[in-house]
Every structure is written in structure tokens, then in C-alpha cells.
Amino acid sequence: MRKQPWRGFREAVLRVRLVLLVACAFLVLIFTPSASAQGESIKGTLRGPDGPVAGVTLTVSSSGGDEVGKATTAKDGTWEVAVPDAGAYDVTLDTKTLPKDLQLRNQGGETLADVAVAAGQNRTVIFPLVAAGTPQETPSPGATAGPAPPAEDGAGPSSFGRFLQLLVAGITFGVIIAITSIGLSLVFGTTGLINFAHGELVTIGAMVAYVFSTSPFTLPLAVATLIAIVVGALVGGAMEGGLWRPMRRRGAGLIQMFIMSIGLALVLRHIILVAFGSRRSQYSQYTIQSSLQWGPISITPRDLTVTIICIIVLLGVAYWLLRTRIGKATRAVSDNRDLAEASGINVDRVVMIVWLVGGGLAAFGGVMYGLTGAVYWDMGFNLLLLMFAGVILGGLGSAFGAVVGSLIVGIVAQVSTLWFPVELQFAWALLVLILVLLVRPQGILGRAQRAG
């Protein structure tokens, strides 16, 4: 009699693994072409003290001095030059095309030498501008925004300093993944659904904040972020109330709902593409910043603020799950849905709240992700594989496990670039996922009873 539950548990684990294998295969088949199709480019947004600067010419040249391409800044200050392949390039701003009332902030800053562009990367660079007549500064490391080029291999203090720098970047990346993946984990815990459309909630949040923080609304980014959170929560609630709940009541299986989530993700993603276009954009606020320097660690105030805010939000979610009645009810439904319903818990209400909270958190994470990089139509889909990795690594259905797993994924992905090419950073994070699951199939904080 004691062997029967374990036989059922093994069958449930096999079903979950089958679904996850199908999900990972789908991601690999679609995700890789999407990344490679973007090509390489160097871009940026030219802004002065009074706003975007148009009509300025920038030239990109190879390390040998051959011109690769030119671009002129648009009305919103944006520019982009496609480069033929990965490598190092020189970017030069033609100071003769600058308005007479503006000048470069850094002395000799009209040329950025050896700008490293990785395969499939759209590298962002910044030329800080100030009012004409302002004393120019000596350029300092970290004064330009955008992903830093990979450091050369070496030993000694420089290598250790690079490790600390990448560790800080990994923590920032990890907490962003954690924010976006909590809702994904809670939805699976309460409904058993692997929601492929969760990545689109991330994109919707970033896009809504971008629309409301730029013309014609031009709201402060903090206000635009609050609007994005509300919109994300409403979209998540609409998914549950208009699609998933009716399907559950009609007896739809998890495989059917899983396939439906893939279709919903594709529809939403291409609606976003049609509505906003394929161009990568940046939030106009908090883009030009000098880095704070603490020994070997360099971080912009923007990235530091993003990290702190994400940590505070994660602590708030932990308090909600551990100390509030609805949080305890959510954990009860996640542990045993039937027992929770028999205990008098309104399961449908709990599931709806989980979708609202998950959608809001995904939208907030999208804003944070876009703030540290760029906003584009499939950014949530590109982050989805890492969200799945964090959720599975930490333990399916466990919100705290999703946080731990996401931090590990973010840190491993960033720190691995110290020794390996940047193109492989996500591969090493997924390798850690495989190794952990071989030793502990239910994940770091998952329980065997929860896996089914």
C-alpha cells in the first residue's frame, strides 16, 4: 500500500518532465533564429540638456580605419548603424554638425575607440552633451552607457576586480529575472499551467511605460511604471477570467492549455510588433549617467536604484506570502488545491489574485529590464527561457525557489563571461540547471510532493 503513492508521484514527474522538454525544445527552435536575425549594430540616443538633438552625423569605422557606415540622428535623437559582423569599431561624432549651443562634455570625446560588438548584439553608446562654454571633463571609465566589452583573460587584481564587477551585474540581472518569474511560478503552483504568454506580459509592461514616459504624455518614468503595473495586472486578470478559467471549467487538460498559451504568446507578440514596430528604443530618462566607483566596482545610479527597488519588491512579495491571509491561502492552494478548497478557501478568487499579482510583477520587471537595456517587441520572449530556468532550478511552484534560481541564473550568466565568450553566457546558466536537476530533480527549494 505504501508503494502506490510513489508510483503515482513518478508518473506525475514523468508528465511534468515531458511538458518541460517540449517547452525547452520549442524555445530552442524559435529563440535561436530570433536572436541571430537581429544582426549586429551600434546605436544610441543623442540628448542635450534640453532634450533630443537631431541632425548630428555619426560615423562607424573598422579598427583598420575603413568606414562601415554613417547615421544622422532623428528628431528623437536616435541613430543606428549596422555593422557587418562582431568585432571592435570606432564611433566618431562630427562636432561640426552639433548645434552651436552644445558641446561634448568630455574632452576629446568625439571618438569612442574599440567599441566591442558581440554576435547578435545591438551595442548602445552615448556621447554626453552639455551647454557650450561649460568646462570639459576628462573622460572616465563607465561614463558611457551600454554593455561593457568582455575583459581579457588574465590573473591578479584586474581579474578579481572584473569578477566583482560581473558579480554585481549578475545580481542586478538576477533580481530582474526573479521579479518577472515569480508570477510564472505562482501560476504553475496554483493551476499547473506552464504559461508561455508570460513573457508578453513583460513586454507589455515595458512598452506601456515607454509610451507614457515619452511624447505626447511625457510622464515621469515612476508614474509611467505604476500605469504599466496596473495594465499588466489587468491583462493577466483578463487572461485568467476570459480564457483559462473557462477552459478549466470545460475540463481542458494541461497539455491543451499549454499549447493554447503558445498560440496566445505568438498572437500577443505580433500584435505588439505591429503596434510598436521592431525598432529598439530606450527610456529617455536616466540614460546619460556617470558611474559610481567603489574600488574595482563600477555601477550607474540607475542600475543601483533598479537593484535596490527589485530587492525591496521581492521582500514585499515574501511578506505578502508569509504574513497576509491571501498570501497564506495562495501557498495552501499551491501545496494542495483540493485540500485548500475543502478547507473553505475560495480557490477561484486566489487564482485570480495570483494572475493579477503575477501580471503586475511581470510588467514591473519589464520596465526594470528595459531601463537597464532597451525596449523592443520580443524582449519578454528573449527573457522567457531564463525565467523558466530560474523557476525550474529553484523548484516548480515555489515563489522563493524562483527567486533563488533566478539569482543563480543571473550570476552564472554574467560571471561566465570572465572566462568564456559572451555568446555562451546563457548556455552555462542552463548547464547549471541540468546539473542541479540531475542531483535534485524537484529543484533547490522544491518538494517531491509539489512536483506532481
Which tens digit of pLDDT belongs to each residue from 327-349? 999 999 988 888 999 999 999 99
- CB distance 434 to 444 below 8 Å: no
pLDDT of residue 107: 81
Q: Which DSSP state fits 69?
A: E
Mean pLDDT for 158-164 is 80
pLDDT of residue 201: 96
- CB distance 362 to 232 below 8 Å: yes
Which tens digit of pLDDT belongs to each residue from 187-202? 999 999 999 999 999 9
- Higher local confidence (pLDDT), 122 or 21: 122
Say which amino acid occupies 4: Q
Q: Is the pLDDT of residue 431 over 80?
A: yes
The DSSP result for 230-270, as a single string, is: HHHHHHHHHHIIIIIHHHHHTT--HHHHHHHHHHHHHHHHH
Q: pLDDT band at 15, cuts 50/70/90?
A: low
Q: Is the pLDDT of residue 417 over 90?
A: no
Q: pLDDT band at 158, cuts 50/70/90?
A: low
Tell me how far the alpha carbon of residue 452 is from its chain's centroid: 29
Mean pLDDT for 347-352 is 95
Mean pLDDT for 54-82 is 85
Q: What percent of the chain has a predicted confidence (pLDDT) above 70?
A: 83
Q: Is the pLDDT of residue 68 over 70?
A: yes
Q: Is the pLDDT of residue 427 over 50?
A: yes
pLDDT of residue 408: 93
> In sequence order, which residues have a C-beta less than 8 Å from that of residue 378 and are 6 or more positions away?
34, 203, 269, 273
Which tens digit of pLDDT belongs to each residue from 301-317? 888 999 999 999 999 99
Q: Is the pLDDT of residue 6 over 50?
A: no
Q: Enumerate the domain spans of the chain.
A: 42-131, 160-288+296-451
Q: pLDDT band at 37, cuts 50/70/90?
A: very low
> In sequence order, which residues have a C-beta less than 8 Å from that of residue 148 and are 6 or more positions away?
165
Q: Does domain 42-131 have CATH number 3.40.50.720?
A: no
- CB distance 360 to 230 below 8 Å: yes
- Higher local confidence (pLDDT), 451 or 240: 240
Q: pLDDT band at 321, cuts 50/70/90?
A: very high
- CB distance 48 to 75 below 8 Å: no
Mean confidence (pLDDT) of the chain: 83
pLDDT of residue 387: 93
- CB distance 377 to 272 below 8 Å: yes
Spatial strand order of the sheet with 67-72 comes to 67-72, 57-62, 87-93, 111-117
Distances (CA, A) of 277 to 215, 219, 269, 270, 373: 17, 22, 11, 9, 17
Which tens digit of pLDDT belongs to each residue from 98-155? 988 889 988 888 898 888 887 667 788 889 888 888 887 765 444 444 444 444 444 3
pLDDT of residue 150: 42
Q: pLDDT band at 29, cuts 50/70/90?
A: very low
Distances (CA, A) of 450 to 5, 9, 280, 334: 13, 10, 40, 8
- Higher local confidence (pLDDT), 34 or 245: 245
Q: Which helix (H) or strand (E) holds 90?
A: strand 87-93
- The domain defined by 160-288+296-451 folds into ABC transporter involved in vitamin B12 uptake, BtuC (1.10.3470)
Q: What percent of the chain has a predicted confidence (pLDDT) above 90?
A: 41
Q: Is the pLDDT of residue 399 over 50?
A: yes
- Higher local confidence (pLDDT), 140 or 216: 216
How many helical (H) and strand (E) elements, i.e. helices and strands, does the chain have?
A: 14, 13
Q: Is the pLDDT of residue 391 over 60?
A: yes
Phi/psi class of residue 13: alpha, beta or left (left: φ > 0; alpha: ψ in -120 to 50)? alpha
pLDDT of residue 31: 43
> In sequence order, which residues have a C-beta less than 8 Å from that of residue 451 and are 6 or more positions away?
9, 12, 13, 16, 396, 441, 442
Instruction: Write down the residue that cell numbers 503558445 correspond to.
Output: 262
Say if residue 216 is preceded by a cis peptide, omega within 30 of 0: yes
The set of cell numbers assigned to 401 is 525557489
Mean pLDDT for 347-356 is 96
The DSSP result for 292-330, as a single string, is: EEETTEEE-HHHHHHHHHHHHHHHHHHHHHHHSHHHHHH
pLDDT of residue 205: 96
